[in-house]
Amino acid sequence: MISSDTEIRNEQLRTAEHAEVPRNRSLDGLRGVAVLLVLLYHHHCLNSGWIGVDLFFVLSGYLITSILRRTRTDEFFWHGFWIKRFTRILPPFLLLLLVTALLRFRLSWLQALAYLLSFGDVMAYVRPTFEPLRPLWSLAIEEHFYIFWPIAVRIFPRRILVYILLTLLALEPILRAFASLFRPGWELVYFLTPFRLDGLALGCLLSLGLELPSHSDLIRKWSGLATALFILTWFCFRLFYGHGFTRDNPTVIYNSICYSLISLIAVSCIGYLIANPKSICARALSWRPLVFTGVISYGLYLYQVLMRETMTRTWHLTDREAFWIDTPITFLIAWLSFRFYERPIIAWGKTRAAYKLDSV
């Protein structure tokens, strides 16, 4: 009888786990667009492709907050959250570190430890010429944010969370502007965590907004128009400031508001897709190749720079020439990694989180 009750309870937990995050194909497609933008940027085929990372930030903030809010009252809240985070993030991360070392790129044990301890953002800033592990800067920012955000979700009611996020959104442009007065250029405010929390905060705010039917109605009605207005605002700044409103020649104005503006475009677009699942845009992003790209996007994002560096170093190719060779190889590696390495570990992590009660 006890065994039967335990099995029923575990089955209920597994069912709840699958119900936590309904799969949204259009968001997978958007994630696919984001990683393709980054891939083109890293091959010097699209100068503004770095905005794909900001899309990732907003998506991550939205999805993680949705999960945290659904499970915030669970007895094993921390156990479930961190088991699933570790089993999702660490396997490709460790594989990337290992392969980078085996390919004899300049990586000391101390530097590897810094990346492993989520200082990838600092390493990207202090080692600007070391490319293979450059993608780890954005991963570090997310991990820094998720050290304190689950605590806030667990402790505070929705209203306080909204105040925290709005305060953060107001402070970020001011902080970047202040830093730019003393350290001109784009690297400091682009790579380091204290300056790049806009996208994550807006994604979190979107998740909280969609909890209320009245807010969901507003998002459904106005998110499309908001996306267009934010894009128009960006173009107006670009026309007025010229090259001073580009990342490579940033003014204080650019450094202060551009990342917030891009994140606003991303969050309004994501809100539109969620609130209008039958729209033309949502159906277009649900195209199977884009969805597939989104599903394996984590591996693509991590592996693509190492693959490009290996190709250019070995065959003396330019980045653009390497694009046509390393891109299909990276897709294959990312799919193999996801199918036979990442997904089994993710499934094991979910099982471990669900079976926590077995020992009680």
Report how far apart, in Å, the C-alpha atoms of 123 and of each of 189, 191, 248, 265 are: 14, 9, 20, 29
Tokens of 272: 């539109």
232 in a structural domain: yes
Residue for token pair 């934010």: 230
- Rg of the chain on CA atoms, in Å: 21
Per-residue pLDDT, averaged over 170-198, amounts to 95
Domain count, the chain: 1
Instruction: Give yes or no for a contact between 30 and 265, defined as CB atoms under 8 angstroms apart.
Output: no
95-150 pLDDT, tens per residue?
999 999 999 898 999 999 999 999 999 999 999 889 999 999 999 999 999 899 99
Burial class (CB in 10 A: 0-12, 13-18, 19+), 3: exposed
Residue for token pair 């394996």: 296
352 in a structural domain: no
| pLDDT greater than 90 at residue 358 | no
24-80 pLDDT, tens per residue?
999 999 999 999 999 999 999 999 999 999 999 999 999 999 999 999 988 888 888
The C-alpha atoms of residue 74 and residue 79 are separated, in whole angstroms, by: 10
pLDDT score recorded for residue 11: 44
Task: Report percent pLDDT > 90 for the chain.
Answer: 81
Per-residue pLDDT, averaged over 279-303, amounts to 97
- Residue from 334, 224, 204 nearest 272 by CA: 224
What region, left, alpha or beta, does residue 284 occupy, with left being phi > 0 and alpha being psi -120 to 50 degrees? alpha
19 in a structural domain: no
247-258 pLDDT, tens per residue?
988 999 999 999
pLDDT score recorded for residue 351: 87
pLDDT score recorded for residue 22: 62
The C-alpha atoms of residue 301 and residue 38 are separated, in whole angstroms, by: 8
| Entry pTM | 0.91
Q: Which domain holds residue 115?
A: 53-285
Instruction: Give yes or no for a contact between 152 and 164, defined as CB atoms under 8 angstroms apart.
Output: yes
Per-residue pLDDT, averaged over 336-348, amounts to 96
47 in a structural domain: no
353 in a structural domain: no
| pLDDT greater than 90 at residue 2 | no
190 in a structural domain: yes
| pLDDT greater than 70 at residue 14 | no
Instruction: Give the CB-side neighbour count of residue 166, counting CA atoms within 13 A.
Output: 8
